[in-house]
Amino acid sequence: MLINPTSERLVALGLTGMVKALDEQRQAHATYDSLGFEDRLGLLVDREAAERDAKRLIGRLKFAALRQAACVEDLDLRIPRGIDRAVMAHLVDGAWIGRHENLLITGPTGLGKSWIACALGHKACRDGRRVAYHRVPRLFEALAIARGDGRHARTLKAIERTELLILDDWGLSVLSVPERRDLLEILEDRHGRGSTIVTSQLPVEHWHETIGDPTLADAILDRLVHNAHRLPLAGESMRKRAVTMKPLDLSGRA
C-alpha cells in the first residue's frame, strides 16, 4: 500500500533511478523476495548511481560537441597507418591527460586524424573529464565575434576550464595577428593545467611557419610541443580505400 506514495516521494527527491528499480522489483517479486532488505536497497542505490552517471555523461558529451561519433573500441589497427599498438593503448588509458600533457596527431588528409581525436575525446568524457572540441578556423571566428560583443574573456575562460581541448584542422592558413594572440592566450592559460589534442596535415616542423610571427611562434610552440606525445600517421587515404573496396554492383543500375 505504501508503494505508490513511496514512488512519488522518490520522484519528488529526484531519485528516478530508484523508482525504476523499485518498479522492476515489484514486477519480478519472485526473483527479489529471496533477497534481504540491504541487498534490495543496494540494488536500488546502484541503479540510481548508474542513472546519474549516464546523465552526467550525456551532459559532458553535449558540451564536448565532438565532430564525429567515434569510440576507441571501434579503432581498426589493422589498417596500415603507422599506429603503434602500445602507443595507442597508452593514449586510450588517458593518464597523460591527468598529467596535463598534449597530443599532436599529424598526417595527410583521409587517415582519420579527426576520428582518432574524437574517439579519445569520447573516452575522456566517459572517464569523467570535461572535453571541448573546436575546428581551429571556426574557433577563431567565434573568438572574433566574442571580442566584438564583450564575451571574449568569458569564452577564453570556458576553454581554460576544459580538461581536454581538441583543436582540429590546425594549420590550414597562416594565422592573423588576433588569431596568434588568441592562441597564445589559450595555451598560456592551459599550460600545466589541461591537455590539448591538435590535428594537422602539416608536420610539426612546419608549424612555426604557419603561425607567422617568429617570436609568438616560439612562445606558442614552447607551450604546445615540449610535453606532447606525437602520433604521425602515414599511408593511403581511408576515403580512397573505401571507394576502391566498394562492392561491385551487379544489379545493372548506373
CA distance 3 to 41: 14
Q: What is the pLDDT of residue 202?
A: 93
CB 165 within 8 A of CB 132: yes
Q: What is the pLDDT of residue 77?
A: 80
Overall average pLDDT of the 110-116 stretch: 91
| Res 223 pLDDT > 80 | yes
Q: What is the pLDDT of residue 13?
A: 80
* CB neighbour burial string for 120-140, b if at least 16 within 10 angstroms, e if fewer: bbbbbbbbebbbbbbbbeebb
Q: What is the CA radius of gyration of the chain?
A: 24
> Between these two residues, 168 and 76, which has the higher pLDDT value?
168
CA distance 6 to 143: 50
Q: pLDDT over 90 for what percent of the chain?
A: 59
Q: What is the pLDDT of residue 125?
A: 97
Q: pLDDT over 70 for what percent of the chain?
A: 92
CA distance 160 to 190: 6
Please name which of 124, 144, 120, 2 lies closest in space to residue 71, comparing C-alpha atoms.
120
pTM, entire model: 0.81
| Res 245 pLDDT > 50 | no
Residue 84 is classified by DSSP as -
Q: What is the pLDDT of residue 250?
A: 45
> Between these two residues, 166 and 15, which has the higher pLDDT value?
166
**Half-sphere exposure (Cβ direction) of 67: Cα atoms closer than 13 Å:** 18
| Mean pLDDT, the chain, whole residue set | 87
Cell of residue 63, nine digits? 558540451
CA distance 37 to 34: 10
Q: What is the pLDDT of residue 3?
A: 58
> Between these two residues, 130 and 250, which has the higher pLDDT value?
130
Among 34-38, 69-73, 217-221, 234-238, name the one with the lowest average pLDDT: 234-238
